Structure 1
């Protein structure tokens, strides 16, 4: 069961139930995948409102691995396009759980 206080979300993808979470390791993985220097740059990149299918695959993969599921991005890329609405919804919920909705989450990363 997903614990929203820990940033976890539950998602049903392709008929399977998963827990997604962006742990510190998952966030570090995303900084590397998006070639950004820090969390502020990652937030700016993700907050652009323009995510590609590749972006969704990277975000979903990091979230799944952070939630304890051993799955490679290549496996996610092989999912049928019909899963796109489920994936987009799960990623949006994951980002809201991690960074807050409307920028009002007290857990939002602080730049030093």
Structure 2
């Protein structure tokens, strides 16, 4: 079970649920991998709908790594993400949102 208070999101890879969250280390790795000048730039890409499939992939990888997964972007290319590309994009946006907001009721 994921904990939204910790910014966690569930990602299903080949039918197996994994915990994903954007830790500070994962965010730094993400900025570097995407060549983003800042996290604000990355958030703006998603808010404006100007994100790429690479943005989605790298966000999912960073989140999974923040959740303890030891795979790489290359590994993620070889698995099926539950819900397909649309769900992957939604999860990537949710990871970003949860990294910078407090869940309702808190």
Fold shared, TM-score > 0.5 on shorter chain? yes
CA gap 1:40/1:55 in 2 versus in 1, 3 angstroms? closer
Q: Cα offset for 1:62? A: 0.3
Q: Which runs of 5+ in 2 are unaligned?
A: none
Which whole-Å CA distance do the structure 2 matches of 1:43 and 1:53 have between them?
15
The structure with higher relative contact order (CA 8 Å, sep 6+) is 2
Q: When the two structures are aligned, how many residues end up with a matched partner?
A: 102
Q: In the alignment, what sits opposite 1:110?
A: none
Aligned match of 1:84: 85
Matches within 5 A, 1:5-16: 5-16=5-16
Could you tell me whether the CA contact under 8 Å between 1:13 and 1:83 is conserved in 2?
no
Measured in 2, the distance between the counterparts of 1:92 and 1:46 equals 7
> 1:26-41 alignment to 2 at 5 Å?
26-41=26-41
CA RMSD of aligned residues (A): 2.4
Instruction: Report how far residue 49 of structure 1 moved.
Output: 1.2
Structure 2 CA distance for partners of 1:91 and 1:83, relative to 1, 3 Å: same
Q: Quote the Cα distance in structure 1 between the aligned partners of 2:38 and 2:65.
A: 20
Question: Post-superposition shift, 1:80?
Answer: 5.0
Match of 2:36, SS state, is coil
Normalising to structure 2: TM-score of the pair? Answer: 0.78
Question: What 5-or-longer segments of structure 1 have no aligned partner?
Answer: 106-112
Secondary structure in 1 matching 2:19: strand
Equivalent positions of 1:40-55 (< 5 A) are: 40-55=40-55
- CA contact under 8 A between 1:13 and 1:86: conserved in structure 2? no
Cross-structure match for 2:98: 97
